[in-house]
């Protein structure tokens, strides 16, 4: 049974999830980036290899858990958290624990084993974002869940244990520290200046241009001023928006174009790097706010976090973000 | 020229260090864990391949930067920070920057190319810790420097770009966020309870035993209750101590035994894993405090931080710390 444990000094929560030790490639080795479709649990015809689907996009009504789908969402077979846990909180001496209540879902983006996200059509990427929106809205009905995070690991070096194109949603019973810190920084900025810090970033970047990678009608992709690593990207709605799951269909369409184009540029510029991305938005069920602004952070895996980064929380970035942005701007994708 | 940049939302500082892009293996690929001694800049006879030494242990007075040493400390040839920078701080619109003043030193632990730290004698490990103490005391004389962090990356998967046994010291012009968070958590605990949180952890662990890996006369090695990953270890002085560099010779000797034995157990239990460790102590020139307790954190590299960890600051640990500790206790090293 997964358990949440809180570090007594820094307050950081971790999940002890022994089930995850059983998943393929739990320990990092040199992994093949391409595994065999014949044994791939995400390929059509292998629907029985995953837990029953939570959502699927099918053109014809061909019945659940059979073929004929364009996208499927299923529970993770090796979940970090489970919805069926009761919400027990206990102390053990000076330590705090919480039962690992939550959800861990996998979005199988396409039936095509080898069609990675940057190679998918704009409509496919849009379909993925619509599924994410739908799942987050559904998860937000469970009041035990406080936050849902949509993320993707692409490539073995980015932590993917299967190559078939997929992304994930984890829902947590609390607000995790990275989001908490962001929210608290944005709240403090708003209290002082009565402006959204992300809106101010967008305004300054749109003026200076040196770190802008691309713009669509509704979105802007930047190489952030304090990027933690080479070619890190930040994709934001240009208008102030704090709750991703309230996005309109037109906004999701524009985000799909910005995300797809950003990933295609990274693919070309860096020769198909492994990468992670994740979406930061307000916690579940919160009303839209003036001070927070949802966004996607994209991080190609080009350097490893090592002793210095772990020990300090400081990152060393060998590539000035201005150089990364200039390079990506001129990459035709 | 390296530059420190502050994230406008979360306040995290990063270092833009373009020089580091030129170092060997700046981009992660499958690296050989054993490189060739003939071209190794840390091997005896190749002293001219490193910048001039800052400190060396030699039995006979054989002159600086020649052979005959047992340990050398040299500036990092690809530094993340430089001492010669002036301490300029500037704003760029809403962004804050600081010149990358600091120090980045490499400790070459032994002339023997293949003798990794766990295979070194207790006296060699002690010699390493004495050199660290000496260098930190020297760095603390530069009032521009606020914190010094001793750390080690061992193995390519842990971010080491050379296999010859070495560790590093980075001195920074500020207190980095990981340390700041730890200090602020420990300070709050002390204000409430008038006790050191680390001393309370040691007392509870010594009573419960389930997470204790080993004890020497002065030190205890634990599998921490909220370990971020499998087989993470925490090594602390059993008596309350807040400033590492004030350690007595006997304390360093006892720490050397605890660290060496911990690494030998990890080597045997996990078949020579890549690992990182780093030392957390009070910032430079601070007086000993009642509320902080210095320690070493050791992290074998068995899982990758991926989208979920980066996006949330949450870690998923598939191995309960109690199981890791039990396994390491019974590993004879």
The full DSSP string for B97-159 is EEE-B-EEEEEE--S-TT--GGGS-HHHHHHHHHHHHHHHHHHTT-TT--EEEEEEEESGGGT
CB contact set of B143 (below 8 Å; sequence gap of 6+) = B285
Q: pTM for this one? A: 0.90
B201 — contact with chain A (CB < 8 Å)?
Answer: yes
pLDDT at residue B19, as a whole number? 66
Contacts of A188 (CB under 8 A, 6+ apart): none
Q: What percent of chain A has pLDDT over 90?
A: 66
Please tell me which residue of chain A has the smallest CA distance to B152. Answer: A307
What is the Cα–Cα distance from B4 to A320, expressed in whole angstroms?
11
Q: Hey, are the CB atoms on B168 and A8 less than 8 Å from each other? A: no
What pLDDT, on a 0 to 100 scale, did the predictor assign at position A34?
64
Residue A221 and residue A333 in contact, taking contact as beta carbons nearer than 8 Å: no
Put simply, whether A93 touches B (Cβ < 8 Å) is: yes
B49: closest CA of chain A, how far (Å): 22
> Cα(B317)–Cα(B229) distance, rounded to whole angstroms?
5
* pLDDT reading at A26 higher than 80: no
B321 touches chain A (CB under 8 A): yes
pLDDT at A20: 62
What is the reported pLDDT for A27?
Answer: 42
Question: Which of the pair, A91 or A122, is modelled with greater confidence?
Answer: A122
Distance CA A175, CA A46 (A): 35
pLDDT computed for residue B30 by the predictor: 41
Note whether B210 contacts A: Cβ–Cβ < 8 A: no
N-term to C-term CA, chain A: 45
Residue A28: per-residue pLDDT: 42
Q: What confidence score (pLDDT) does residue A25 get?
A: 42
Q: Tens digits of per-residue pLDDT, A115-166?
A: 999 999 999 999 999 999 999 999 999 999 999 999 999 998 898 989 999 9
- pLDDT score, position A87: 64
Closest to B226 (Cβ–Cβ): which among A5, A310, A319? A5
- Given a cut of 80, whether residue A201 has pLDDT beyond it is yes
Write down the pLDDT at residue B202: 96
Best residue of B295, B307, B317, B320 to probe chain A, by most A CBs closer than 10 Å: B307
Listed range (A12-26, A91-105, A168-182, B21-35) with the worst mean pLDDT:
B21-35
Dump pLDDT digits (tens) for B92-122: 888 988 888 889 999 999 999 999 999 999 9
**Do the Cβ atoms of A318 and B20 come within 8 Å?**
yes
Q: Is A37 exposed, middle or buried (0-12, 13-18, 19+ CB in 10 A)?
A: middle
Q: Do A15 and B319 touch (CB under 8 A)?
A: no
Higher-confidence residue of A3 and B208: namely B208
Closest C-alpha among A295, A288, A227, A218 to residue A254: A218
Give CA–CA dist B154/A261, Å, rounded.
38
Sign (positive or negative) of CA dihedral A209, A212, A216, A221: negative
Determine whether the interchain pair B315/A15 forms a contact, defined as Cβ–Cβ distance below 8 Å.
Answer: yes
Residue A233 has pLDDT above 70, yes or no: yes
What's residue A97's pLDDT?
Answer: 85
- Helices then strands (H, E): number in chain B? 6, 15
Tell me which residues of chain A, numbers 126 to 155, contact chain B at a CB-CB cutoff of 8 Å: 149, 151-153
Q: Which residue of A has its CA nearest to B320?
A: A16
Q: Are B244 and B278 in contact (CB under 8 A)?
A: no
Residue of A310, A319, A325, A327 for testing the chain B interface, max B β-carbons within 10 Å: A310
CA B183 to chain centre: 17
Helix or strand run (H / E) with residue B185: helix B177-193
Q: Is B32 on the interface with A (CB under 8 A)?
A: no
pLDDT of residue B196: 95
Distance from CA of B302 to the nearest CA of A (A): 5
Kindly give the pairing relationship between strand A13-16 and strand B315-317: parallel
Which residues of chain B fall below pLDDT 50? Answer: 24-31
Beta bridge partners of A104: A170
Do B101 and B80 contact (CB within 8 A), yes or no? no
pLDDT of residue A115: 96
Q: How many CB pairs under 8 A join A and B?
A: 281
Q: How far is A53 from chain B (nearest CA, A)?
A: 22
């Amino acid at each position: 049974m997964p358990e949440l444990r809180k570090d007594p000094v820094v307050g950081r929560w971790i999940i002890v999830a022994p089930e995850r030790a059983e998943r393929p490639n739990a320990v990092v080795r040199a992994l093949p980036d391409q595994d065999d479709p014949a044994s791939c649990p995400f390929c059509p015809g292998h629907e029985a290899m995953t837990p029953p689907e939570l959502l699927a996009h099918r053109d014809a009504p061909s019945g659940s858990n059979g073929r004929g789908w364009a996208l499927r969402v299923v529970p993770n077979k090796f979940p970090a958290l489970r919805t069926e846990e009761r919400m027990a909180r206990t102390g053990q001496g000076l330590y705090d624990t919480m039962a690992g209540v939550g959800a861990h879902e996998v979005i199988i983006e396409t039936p095509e084993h080898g069609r990675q996200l940057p190679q998918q059509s704009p409509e496919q990427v849009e379909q993925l974002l619509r599924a994410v929106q739908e799942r987050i809205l559904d998860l937000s009905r469970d009041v035990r869940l406080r936050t849902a995070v949509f993320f993707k690991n692409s490539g073995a070096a980015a932590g993917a244990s299967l190559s078939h194109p997929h992304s994930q949603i984890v829902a947590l019973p609390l607000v995790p520290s990275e989001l908490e810190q962001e929210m608290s920084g944005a709240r403090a900025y708003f209290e002082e200046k009565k402006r959204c810090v992300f809106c101010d970033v967008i305004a300054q970047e749109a003026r200076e241009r040196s770190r802008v990678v691309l713009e669509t009608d509704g979105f802007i992709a930047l190489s952030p001023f304090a990027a933690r690593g080479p070619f890190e990207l930040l994709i934001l709605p240009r208008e102030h928006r704090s709750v991703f799951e309230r996005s309109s269909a037109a906004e999701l369409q524009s985000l799909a174009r910005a995300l797809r184009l950003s990933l295609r540029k990274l693919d070309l510029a860096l020769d198909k790097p492994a990468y992670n991305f994740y979406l930061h938005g307000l916690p579940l069920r919160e009303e839209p706010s003036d001070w927070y602004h949802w966004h996607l952070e994209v991080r190609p895996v080009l350097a490893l976090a090592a002793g210095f980064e772990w020990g300090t929380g400081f990152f060393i970035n060998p590539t000035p973000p201005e150089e990364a942005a200039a390079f990506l701007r001129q990459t035709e994708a």
